[in-house]
Chains A and B, each alone.
Chain A
Amino acid sequence: MHELSQLLLTLIVFLSLYLLGSSSLTGCVNILALQGMCLGILPLAIHERGFHSRTFVLAAGMFVLKGFVIPRVLLYAIREVKIRREINPLVGYTSSLLLGALLIGVSFIIAERLPVPAGLRTGLLIPVSLATMMMGMLMMISRIKALTQVIGYLVFENGIYLFGLSIAYEIPWLIELGVLLDVFVAVFVMGIVINHIARAFDSISTEKLTSLSD
Chain B
Amino acid sequence: MTIYLLLLGAPLVAGLIALLIDRDEIRPWFLPAACAIHSYAVVACWVRLPEPAVSGWFRIDAIALLVLTLASALFLVCSVYCLEYLRLRRGRDNRLFTACLAFILSAVSLVCVSRHMGLLWVGMEAATLAAAPLVHFNHNEKSIEATWKYLMMGSLGIGLALLGTFFLALAVLPYTGPGDPLMIDVLLARAGMLSVPWLKGAFIFLLVGYGTKMGLAPMHSWKPDTYGEAPGVAGAILAGVITSCAFLGVLRAFQICAAAGLADFARGLLVLMGLLSMAVAAAFIIGQRDFKRMLAYSSVEHMGILALGVGLGPAGSFAALLHLLNNGLTKGVLFLTAGNIHRAFGGKTMDHAHGALRRVPISATLFLLGFVAITGSPPFAPFISEFSILRSAVDGGRFGVAFGFVGLLAVIFIGMATTVLSVVYGTPNDQPQGPVQGDFPFMLMAPLALMSAVVFFGVWLPEGLTAVLGEAARLLNGVRP
Which A residues have a C-beta under 8 Å from some C-beta of B?
113-115, 117-119, 133, 137, 140, 146, 149, 153, 156-157, 160, 163-164, 166-167, 170-171, 174, 177-178, 181-182, 184-186, 189-190, 193, 196-197, 200-201, 206, 208-212, 214
With A170-B181, A178-B121 in contact, is A160–B144 under 8 Å at CB?
Answer: no
A-chain residues with CB within 8 Å of residue B95 when the two chains form the complex = none
Name the CB-closest residue of A to B201. A114
Q: What is the CA–CA distance of A14 and B136 in the complex, to the nearest angstrom?
A: 38
Q: Given that A174-B165, A212-B228 are contacting pairs, would A193 and B148 also be in contact in the complex, using a CB cutoff of 8 Å?
A: yes
Residue of A nearest to B228 (CB): A212
Bound complex: CA A73 to CA B267 (Å): 44
Q: Is B190 an interface residue (CB 8 A)?
A: no
- Among A149, A182, A209, contact of B159 (Cβ-Cβ < 8 Å): A182
Instruction: Assess whether B162 is in contact with A160, with CB atoms less than 8 Å apart.
Output: yes
Let me know if B218 is at the binding interface, CB within 8 A: no
- Residues of A within 8 Å of B147, CB to CB, are 193, 196
- B71-97 CB contacts (< 8 Å) to partner A: none
Q: B321 interface residue, CB < 8 Å from A? A: no
Distance between B369 CB and nearest chain A CB, rounded to angstroms: 27
Indicate if the CB atoms of A114 and B148 lie closer than 8 Å: no
A208 to B149, CA, bound (A): 12
Q: Lowest 3 A-B CB distances belong to which pairs?
A: A212-B225, A209-B145, A174-B118
Complex interface: chain A residues within 8 A of B173 (CB): 117-119, 167, 170
| Interface pair A190/B197, CB less than 8 Å apart | no
B151 with A190: CB separation less than 8 A? yes
| Cβ-based interface call for B319 (8 A) | no
A189 CA to B125 CA in the complex, in Å? 13
> Could you tell me which residues of chain B, from 126 to 161, have a CB within 8 Å of some CB in chain A?
126, 129, 132, 136, 140-142, 144-149, 151-152, 155-156, 158-159
B125 adjacent to A171 (CB under 8 Å): no
Considering only CB atoms, which chain B residue lies closest to A146 in the complex? B148
Given known contacts A189-B132, A214-B288, is B195 in contact with A115 (CB within 8 Å)?
yes
Whether B293 is near chain A, meaning CB under 8 Å from some CB there, is: yes
**Are A160 and B141 CB-contacts (below 8 A) given A113-B197, A214-B288?**
no
Q: Is the CB of A214 within 8 A of B284?
A: yes
